[in-house]
Structure 1
Amino acid sequence: MLVSALALFVATDISEVYVADFRTENKESCRPSDVDLSRSQVQDFFGRAKSVEPRVLHDHYDLAPCFIQGTLKYRFRACEWEVRAGATGSITCGKRIEYFVCDTCADLFARNSK
């Protein structure tokens, strides 16, 4: 699997965002309401987020145990995405995975932000 920070990632090239499912690795500490984003909020998340190397994500950010996932098109290519409650995420297009962090997205995760 290829992993790289996509310096040329252009958020405006994202289209057709679909929210498919909520998943959690810890039902006691992480609930659907912790990451209850709409399609437009997911698109906004990736628009505000910055692409980072996996090591930066691992060393400097907490990986929340719950996330939402779905599909989107990036430059007309079908991709899968994931956004975690801790304002981290990823986009997978084929064998390429891009990791994202968003330090300015707290409002998206606030309760009743929809």
Structure 2
Amino acid sequence: MVFLHDSDGQGSTDGPRPIDTAVFFTRLGQRIIHLLTAVTPTGTLYEVDMRLRPSGNSGLLVTSLKAFAEYQRQNAWTWEHQALVRARVVAGSETLAEKFSQLRAIS
């Protein structure tokens, strides 16, 4: 699973307690992982391994599309390019989904 955003990263939320964009997206990603890995009476809902994201455990949980594209061009291993063949957008804006699809096509 890879979490991407297409904001410039310079803004903040407009809620009662504004937080940086990067913090917002990281917390959102953490909540999604928490929901997906919930333990139910029949076991764990899904197993999520975020170590496979760009740069592994040392990388950001949520990456900008621009940084992800740069990573794919400069540092990604062959198997990471191969994994993109099967990657699919499951949530988010249509604009970001289209940009990701274009990136997938050239990687």
- The two structures have a TM-score, normalised by structure 2, of 0.31
| Structure 1 or 2: more helix by fraction | 2
Larger Rg: 2
Higher strand share: 1
The TM-score normalised by the length of structure 1 is: 0.29
Which of structures 1 and 2 has the larger relative contact order (alpha carbons within 8 angstroms, sep 6+)?
1
